[in-house]
Structure 1
Amino acid sequence: MIEIRLGLEDVVRTRFAISPLWEAVASVRVLKGADEHGLHRTWAERVRPQLAASNVDFGPLFDLVPVPTRSPWSGHVPGFICPPPTTPLPSLDVELATVRATPPALLRTTAEVPPARMAALRADPATELGRLADVLQAYWDLALAPYWSRILTLLEDDIRYRVGRLAEGGAQHLFSDLDPQVTWAAGTLHLKHRTVHGARRLDGSGLLLVPSAFVWPRVFSVLTEPWQPSLRYPPRAVGTLWHTRPATVSDALAGVLGRSRATILAALTAPASTTGLARRTGLTPGGVSQHLTALRTAGLVSAHRAGREVLYARTRAGETVVEAAGAGAPASTSPA
């Protein structure tokens, strides 16, 4: 059990943030076995073949994310590859710049990392950290970028809920349903942990709360200097992240975009290639390509290269348009 003692100043400085970098690192844990309940099986089955076909050497990243061999609780992650964010929603570029600028003194860990990997990092920090950041970027492009709109919506929805809880009833109300492993009493946050015990004082530095799609069923804590004291916890409804409903085409949306473009946008319940969308919608590949170009120009669809394929996904604007149109008008089932 870890006891995190928060003074008044700590409660005042408690804040939320989302970390694209941490999501990338936590998702590597999932690919390496930290998903015994299969929560992310749908995502992993799509991503693994794309990573294998990319010809990218992911060793600099995967070596630093140990396999959780004993239980979901095991497998510490070195702090220097995923420092807590300093702003509410940093871009991946900003977080990778922080990784590249990691001081050599922080290149240490008690995690089960291959000694040769740590030796290489310490021998030539600038080169090896730059290489690590490049690999993280390549991994992100393949494994997370096509799905980021969906993940980000889940994380932001959780933060809105938590902020409402804080406003309604203060810290006790905020933490009462954060996670079963977290309890609050008399200014102290109790975090269940199987290997770490003791009390930690924040001394006015405040607590950073980071919802994370890939940590369930764990809560990860960062309580060592020089980083911001943080809890990375599973957001509400994380179990529904990869659920897809039958694609429907709102008549209202079809009236604005045209039936074919509305059908394509509705069919993007998961990232898909031009060929895949043609199969889902019954449209010709050439027609799908033309409509995707128009939807990309309008900012409703984004494109992400995955090996030899280009996958298309709805942007946040695209998700909002589909949701708003579906809520406000009758819909018909698409040919998907």
Structure 2
Amino acid sequence: MLEVVPGDVGAQHVRLAISPLEEVLNAVRALARPGPVHARWAAANRTAVDVPELVTLISGDVYFPDFLSPPAGSLEAQFEAIVRTPPDQVRREIEMSVAGRDVPPDMFADPAAARDLLAAQMRECWTALLQPIWPRLQDVLDTDVDHRTRQFREGGLVAVLTGIHPGIVVAGPSILLPTVYSGRLELDSRGLQLIPSVFAPRLGVMMVPPWQPCLVYPARGSATLWEDAPPPARDALAGVVGRTKARLLRTLASPASTTALATRFGVAPSTISEHLTALVAAGLLTSRRVGRSVQYRRSSLGDEIVSNAT
């Protein structure tokens, strides 16, 4: 259990961010320990990368090095931060990661060499595992960030944290988080970074100095990521609006962008855009700009039609 004490200062310095390299780490762990949501993806990608040192380092149950997922920024900025990590910091975090585990003592004997090798392996995993599906992942992550941002505006940090996990409770001035790591975190002017992850199986924390305190949590909508099955052959809704529009209506119980939908359906974005435009014009979908993308989801009329057609 982790006790977080926001304080007056720390509670005002909370940031939601997407971390591509945190997603890489959780994806690599998911290859070895896939839950039911990602089992099909893991089976298809289990031999896609050969990164034994990285797998060894992040296979523990308590901690894996924070320097491999520096505070969120662009992908290239994160890679640059890895290779700039001082060797003493690398050695410290590797020792924390392998403590009490049966790891060959010479595997990470040279921290600078280990850092550069691990950075190369992280890039290999990004290219092979995540880059091809990043638009789909980013759509889920962007939607989560938008939701948490609205929660923060309406109820502050407490509203966001208690909405992230049912096991998070407020106890006076503290917030208790059910994490593997136990300790106490008093927020200061560095604040707290909240990072959603599609592949994260549970809450995780980054607390080792000098990194900014971070909480990694499973993103909303992760369970719908691979829902790309076509509708039943005898589909009354498809008989009226067509198969693609029927699939869109069923899919858009949760928001998604044109790019993510095109990737999920395996068709051109222009084709998806044409169907979305028609459904919005009919009042069956709503649209909302989130950052640089437009998110679509079913309207109340669309909900009613899908419900009655099921």
TM-score (norm 2): 0.72
List gaps (5 residues or longer) in structure 1.
52-56, 68-73, 251-264, 272-276, 278-294, 301-317, 331-336
1:251-298: CA deviations, max 9, x gaps?
A: xxxxxxxxxxxxxx9874267xxxxx9xxxxxxxxxxxxxxxxx6xxx
Residues 246 and 266 (structure 1 numbering): CA distance in 2 closer, same or farther, change over 3 Å? farther
- Indicate the SS of the match to 1:169: helix
Match of 1:83 in 2: 70
CA distance in 2, matches of 1:104, 1:323: 53
Residues 232 and 266 (structure 1 numbering): CA distance in 2 closer, same or farther, change over 3 Å? closer
CA distance in 1, matches of 2:3, 2:227: 36
Match of 1:102 in 2: 85
Picking from 160, 165, 174, the partner of 2:146 is 160
Following superposition, the deviation at residue 249 of structure 1 comes to 4.3
Following superposition, the deviation at residue 323 of structure 1 comes to 7.0
Match of 2:109 in 1: 119
Picking from 168, 172, 179, the partner of 1:186 is 172
| Contact 1:205/1:228 (<8 A) preserved | yes
Match of 2:37 in 1: 39
1:184-225: CA deviations, max 9, x gaps?
A: 34332211235x433221233211100011112x10011221
Check if 1:66 corresponds to 2:59: yes
Picking from 230, 239, 258, the partner of 1:246 is 230
Following superposition, the deviation at residue 148 of structure 1 comes to 0.7
Moved over 6 A (4+): none
Following superposition, the deviation at residue 180 of structure 1 comes to 1.9
Residues 198 and 45 (structure 1 numbering): CA distance in 2 closer, same or farther, change over 3 Å? closer
| Contact 1:12/1:206 (<8 A) preserved | yes
Picking from 191, 198, 201, the partner of 2:183 is 198
Residues 142 and 201 (structure 1 numbering): CA distance in 2 closer, same or farther, change over 3 Å? same
CA distance in 2, matches of 1:201, 1:323: 50
Aligned-residue sequence identity (percent) comes to 29
Match of 1:132 in 2: 118
Match of 2:193 in 1: 208
Check if 1:328 corresponds to 2:280: yes
Following superposition, the deviation at residue 92 of structure 1 comes to 1.6
Check if 1:20 corresponds to 2:5: no
Match of 1:175 in 2: 161
| Contact 1:100/1:133 (<8 A) preserved | yes
| Contact 1:63/1:117 (<8 A) preserved | no
Match of 1:227 in 2: 211
| Contact 2:206/2:213 (<8 A) preserved | yes
CA distance in 2, matches of 1:186, 1:229: 21
CA distance in 2, matches of 1:22, 1:319: 33
Check if 1:8 corresponds to 2:3: no
CA distance in 1, matches of 2:262, 2:67: 39
CA distance in 2, matches of 1:228, 1:151: 24
| Contact 2:179/2:204 (<8 A) preserved | no
- Indicate the SS of the match to 2:164: coil
1:38-62: CA deviations, max 9, x gaps?
A: 22012112212433xxxxx412322
Following superposition, the deviation at residue 329 of structure 1 comes to 6.9
Residues 171 and 322 (structure 1 numbering): CA distance in 2 closer, same or farther, change over 3 Å? farther
CA distance in 1, matches of 2:43, 2:274: 26
1:282-335: CA deviations, max 9, x gaps?
A: xxxxxxxxxxxxx6xxxx5xxxxxxxxxxxxxxxxx7973773463379xxxxx
CA distance in 2, matches of 1:193, 1:176: 14
Following superposition, the deviation at residue 226 of structure 1 comes to 0.6
| Contact 1:175/1:184 (<8 A) preserved | no
- Indicate the SS of the match to 1:150: helix
Following superposition, the deviation at residue 119 of structure 1 comes to 0.8
Following superposition, the deviation at residue 23 of structure 1 comes to 0.3
Larger deviation, residues 107-116 vs 144-153: 107-116
CA distance in 1, matches of 2:77, 2:271: 25
Residues 319 and 98 (structure 1 numbering): CA distance in 2 closer, same or farther, change over 3 Å? farther
CA distance in 2, matches of 1:16, 1:168: 15
| Contact 1:2/1:191 (<8 A) preserved | yes
- Indicate the SS of the match to 2:22: helix
CA distance in 2, matches of 1:27, 1:39: 12
CA distance in 1, matches of 2:167, 2:127: 33
CA distance in 2, matches of 1:174, 1:61: 32
Aligned length, in residue pairs: 252
Residues 84 and 246 (structure 1 numbering): CA distance in 2 closer, same or farther, change over 3 Å? same
Which amino acid in structure 1 is aligned with residue 37 of structure 2?
L
| Contact 1:147/1:270 (<8 A) preserved | no
| Contact 2:4/2:186 (<8 A) preserved | yes
Residues 322 and 65 (structure 1 numbering): CA distance in 2 closer, same or farther, change over 3 Å? farther
